Amino acid sequence: MEKFIYAPEIAKLGHVALVTENLDKSLWFFKEIIGLEETREVNGTHYLRAWGDFEHHTLSITAGETSYIDHIGWKAKRREDVANFARLLEDAGTEVRWIAAGEEAGQGEAIRFELPSGHRFEIYFDMEKPQAEEGRKSVLKNQVYKAWAKGVSPRRIDHVNLQTSMDNHLIVTYLQETLGFKLREYLVNSDDKQVVGWMSVTNLVHDVAMMSKPSVGPNEMHHIAFWQDNAQDILRTADILSEQEVSFVGPGKHGISQAMFIYVKDPGSGLRVEIFTNSYLIFEPDWEPIKWTYAEYQKNGSTYWGDRRRDDVNIQAVKA
């Protein structure tokens, strides 16, 4: 294996590429209800971002015969890390496909590959950061769009939660050893076997969660999460969804991550969206992963307080 002066690193979650079986419904949901702004449309793909997102897009939506997640994009810390990750992944036996600059609108050269579960990841560095046109532009120089222009209006993308039927420890270890994710909290079942891992490359509790369940496929997405600034925003979200007669689960507070949440589904694709706030940040370099038993998870881990209707939350994930 080639030696690196420094190990390649992932800086943050970049974007999710959604394919939907009902484009009109998905665009209505994400633009008018969630309140994302459309950067542009290229060859049938609509590129969206929240008012506080700086890069070209954090969500893309394309029409398809079925709904699925095409890929999940991650931004590297350095431009050379893209090529270094390619070599590292190939040395580990992972097939890598290069994506030419411009193949994905706004994005430079990138690589795509699959986890052992089949989830498709992309790593890039260069991404356009277009300004908003007049009329949508914020008066703040450090903000792209006007806040609260429409709908729920989250500030930014926050994390993704993935599902697999495969062994959780195997996938989590791959994310740790190959891509540099750190395990922050994890859940074991009644046999003391790990079934969920919450992981991050930033100070967040999780940029990605990986949940293992025998009832799902090997590569599914449970939800994509968008961040709001505070608890009052979550209550405002509940009012907006109720006014629009869109069903949702929440508000509530997770014990794991300590975040407040609402879950709502895109009627076009079935993709679940979490509106997410509060939580805590991790600055300790010697952080020890926190273990939750299944009994603890049932009592306080999943829902510390609030809406405990979990059936809608735990089924019907979108294929990734």
Residue 313 lies in a domain: yes
Predicted local confidence at residue 307, as pLDDT: 80
Residue 144 lies in a domain: no
Counted domains in the chain: 2
Cα(238)–Cα(181) distance, integer angstroms: 33
Residue 59 lies in a domain: yes
What's the pLDDT tens digit per position in 201-256? 999 999 999 999 988 888 899 999 999 999 999 999 999 999 999 999 999 999 99
Mean pLDDT, residues 106-123 taken together? 97
- Are residues 238 and 118 part of one domain? no
Residue 235 lies in a domain: yes
CATH number for the domain including 116? 3.10.180.10
* Confidence bin at 312 (pLDDT 50/70/90): very low
- Are residues 255 and 165 part of one domain? yes
In this structure, what token pair is assigned to residue 7?
Answer: 């190990």
- Are residues 181 and 38 part of one domain? no
* Confidence bin at 4 (pLDDT 50/70/90): low
Domain-ending residue, one of 84, 106, 124: 124
- Are residues 108 and 168 part of one domain? no
- Are residues 276 and 167 part of one domain? yes
Q: How many helices (H) and strands (E) does the chain have?
A: 5, 19
Candidate from 91-105, 151-165, 243-257, 304-318 with smallest mean pLDDT: 304-318
Instruction: Say if residue 141's pLDDT is above 60.
Output: yes
- Are residues 173 and 45 part of one domain? no
Burial of 130 per CB tally in 10 Å (0-12, 13-18, 19+): middle
In this structure, what token pair is assigned to residue 146?
Answer: 């006007």
Mean pLDDT, residues 19-43 taken together? 97
Range of the domain at 114: 10-124
- Are residues 279 and 167 part of one domain? yes
- Are residues 59 and 167 part of one domain? no
Instruction: Say if residue 258's pLDDT is above 70.
Output: yes
Mean predicted lDDT score pLDDT of the chain: 93
* Confidence bin at 317 (pLDDT 50/70/90): low
What are the residues whose beta carbons fall under 8 Å from the beta carbon of 198, sequence distance 6 or more? 183, 184, 185, 186, 205, 206, 209, 256, 257
Residue 269 lies in a domain: yes
Residue 139 lies in a domain: no
- Are residues 184 and 57 part of one domain? no
Mean pLDDT, residues 4-10 taken together? 82
Instruction: Say if residue 62's pLDDT is above 70.
Output: yes
Cβ–Cβ under 8 Å, residues 183 and 197: yes
- Are residues 315 and 175 part of one domain? yes
* Confidence bin at 311 (pLDDT 50/70/90): very low
- Are residues 108 and 164 part of one domain? no
pTM of the complete model beyond 0.85: yes
- Are residues 166 and 51 part of one domain? no
Predicted local confidence at residue 302, as pLDDT: 87
